[in-house]
Amino acid sequence: MEQMRNVSPDAESWALTLKQRWWAISKPFSIFFNAAILLLIALIFFLPFTWMLVSAFRENPQLNLAFSNFWLGNFVQVFTGNTAIWIRNSLIVATGATVTATTTAFLAAYPFARFNFPGKTLVLFAMLLSMTIPLGVVMLPTFSLARSMGLENSLVGVFLIIAGRQIPLSVWVLKEFIASVPMELEEAAWIDGASKMATLWRIVFPLTAPGIAVMGMLTFLVGWGDFVVSFLLISSEDLIPISMGIYKTSLEATAYGQLRINYGVQTAISLIYMIPPIVLYLLFRQHLIKGMTAGAVKG
């Protein structure tokens, strides 16, 4: 018995030191191995960007990668000529979609948050379900519908379709925001004689402003990045947004690289085009991860 009692802690600590020793030896390898995999993935993901990053800063670049003729003029030229029109059109689409979707979704979220009415659950569920249908699957009827409504070749048509597709998510999120505003605040204002619309505007709206900002920016991003809807609807040169303009450049790149296009300007506008999504990601990174964690825990 005596022996046993002595042996077992010894054996345990011996096993522990062995494990610690093994970790001491293997730790540098583990660090090296993990860092190497990470850096390899980073390098592979970065390579496709290189041509664009370099060419935007060259005078009259070609399709090969070369570090010469450093020039910032491309970024000046972007704001003149065709590319300026693309920027204007993208701004119209993104702003139009944002204003339309966010305003209507905020107004709709209020009754969904505050009242019970027949069909409420059904509509909310249908909205959720409709979000799972990718745009790529409903391209043709979307085009056919727009044509029959006279929205073909119109930026208003483009942003209305984008706004309509953003409504389910906006209503769902803003509904949660409004539900978190204490009912008592509104009731107190009513007693003081404020109308229902006035409390909505003066109490609910300011308290849900962060949520409205998030959904507004998200919709802006969707409108800004849109390619498919414009591609289906727009045919006039002076109505194409940035995405379609860049697409036409990449077509030229596929066809063995012709010289008709100034790749310097095209790559410069591509870089400018990427700024809004990057800024938005940096601003809302924490919200996004939090939302994902909440979703992940719920499974």
Partner 1 sequence: MRKANWLLLLALPAFVLWAIFMVGPFVRGILMSFTNEALVGPNAMNVHFIGLENYRRLLSDADFYNSVKVSSIFVFGSAIVGQVGLGLLLAVLINRKRKIYGKISWAIALTTAIVILAWVTPAAVTGLTWTSFLNKYGVLNQIIGVFVGSEVAYFWLAKKPMLSIILANIWQGTGWSMLLLGAAIESVPHEVNEAAEVDGATSWQRFRYITLPLIMGPILVNLIFITIWTYGVFEVPYMLTKGGPAGKTELLTIYGYQQAFKYFDLGYGSTVAVGILVITMVLAIIYYRLLGRQAWNK
Of residues 14 through 53, those in contact with partner 1 by CB under 8 A are 19, 27, 30-31, 34-35, 37-39, 41-42, 45-52
Give the span between the Cα atoms of 207 and 190, in whole angstroms.
17
Where does 181-254 have alpha helices with state H? 183-191, 196-199, 205-207, 209-225, 228-233, 242-254
Interactions with partner 1, residue window 96-155 (CB under 8 A): 100-101, 103-105, 107-108, 110-112, 114-117, 123, 126-127, 130, 132-145
Interactions with partner 1, residue window 177-216 (CB under 8 A): 196
Cβ 267 vs Cβ 74: under 8 Å:
yes
With 0-12 / 13-18 / 19 or more C-beta atoms within 10 angstroms meaning exposed / middle / buried, residue 152 is: middle
Cβ 142 vs Cβ 229: under 8 Å:
yes
Beta bridge partners of 114: none
Choices 1-9, 75-83, 164-172, 211-219; region in contact with partner 1 by CB under 8 A: 164-172
- Per-residue mark of binding to partner 1, 66-85 (x: CB under 8 A): --------------------
The tokens for 3 are 């022996």
Residue 117 Cβ vs partner 1, minimum distance, rounded to whole Å: 4
Between 1 and 117, whose beta carbon lies closer to partner 1?
117
Choices 67-75, 77-85, 211-219, 247-255; region in contact with partner 1 by CB under 8 A: 247-255
Cβ 153 vs Cβ 240: under 8 Å:
no
Query: Can residue 247 be called a binding residue for partner 1 (CB under 8 A)?
Result: yes
